[in-house]
Amino acid sequence: MGFSEIAVTVILFSTFLFVGGVIAAAWISYHNLVDEATIKNAQILSDQVHTNFTINSVVNVTGYLIINATNTGSVTIDLRYTSVLIDGKLYGNVTDFQYYVNGINNTVYWFPREHLSIYVPWTAPLPARVTLVAQDGVEAYWG
Amino acid sequence: MGLDTSATKAIFFITAVIVAATLAGVFTTITFKFSSNLGVRAQILSSTLESNIKIINDPAAVPYNNTTHLLILYVKNTGKNLISTGEVTVLIDGMVIPSSNVTIQVLTSTGEWYPGSVAQINVTVVLSPGDHTAKVVLSNGVYDEIEFRII
């Protein structure tokens, strides 16, 4: 084999090695990123499937509207991101009001099978519709 | 070996190295471009998979002012990443609402639309009593849609 062939072979072989390495690294990085996102997407869907809660009653008691609800699903609901809508209007998150989870008010988590009472300052007549929306978008209606 | 033969071999050698180096340069450029595009594609796919929104309005009681024609949509970030409000498109009954008729206010102290938080979208649109649809689309194509009634 002549010197020219050896030089060409060395140049092309090292290029193929380099190119192969770059492609492999890009492919691994792509799959890592997509796999991570797929897991997060699965978590989003899983949370939505397993979140369930019901509004048991809504009562109007001197100056407050008391919303009683039960977490009937298997997902812990974060009350900081649980929205309260009354007659279609957003009033805020549960933690913006006085609230009790199984009688205690120093938690932001609403665990499965626990009871939640929200005290919304209210002087108007009993509303027609109340909606609670969990952090994952799952809703419960009353009215 | 004569001078002619050496010169010929030198020319062949130089030509071969130039051709090989050119090919190597082309392969390397293509590879870097491919690698870069793959990275961008991964970012787009990742953003789409991790983003999710939900229009949380009560479909039977969507706030709408018949005088000012102001429709209020509440959209919750139900995904896993921060959403930019800059490129949100609103469609009412299939028609894109011009951005001049849409204002978005994120209802958080920081103004950032982080997971679990709600953005209030004010849409100025003339709606007749009856059933309508509202669709909110993010820049990465993630969307949510509701049917609602104006009384």
DSSP B104-138: EEE-SSS--B-TT-EEEEEEE----SEEEEEEEE-
For residues A30-38, average pLDDT: 94
- pLDDT at position A46 over 70: yes
Q: B114 touching A, CB under 8 A?
A: no
Structure tokens at A28: 């691994």
Instruction: Write out residues in chain B with pLDDT < 50, as ranges.
Output: none
> Given this model, what pLDDT does residue B64 score?
96
Look at residue A115 and give its three-state secondary structure: strand
Give the nearest chain B residue to A36 (CA atoms).
B46
For residues A110-136, average pLDDT: 96
Percent of chain A residues topping a pLDDT of 90: 90
- Could you tell me the pTM of the whole model? 0.87
CB contact residues (below 8 A), chain B span 9-48, against chain A: 9, 12-13, 16-17, 19-21, 23-24, 27-28, 31-32, 34-35, 38-39, 41-43, 45-48
Measure the CA–CA gap between B57 and A86, rounded to whole angstroms.
10
Whether ipTM > 0.90 holds is: no
Beta bridge partners of B147: B133
Tokens 């009354």 found at: A86
Whether residue A38 contacts residue A31, with contact meaning beta carbons closer than 8 Å, is answered with no
> Given this model, what pLDDT does residue B1 score?
55
Measure the CA–CA gap between B72 and B104, rounded to whole angstroms.
10
> Given this model, what pLDDT does residue B119 score?
97
Contacts of B50 in chain A (CB under 8 A): 37, 40-41, 44
Q: B135 touching A, CB under 8 A?
A: no
- Work out the mean pLDDT of chain A and round it to a whole number: 94
Q: Do A129 and B61 touch (CB under 8 A)?
A: yes
Number of Cβ within 10 Å of residue A14's Cβ equals 11
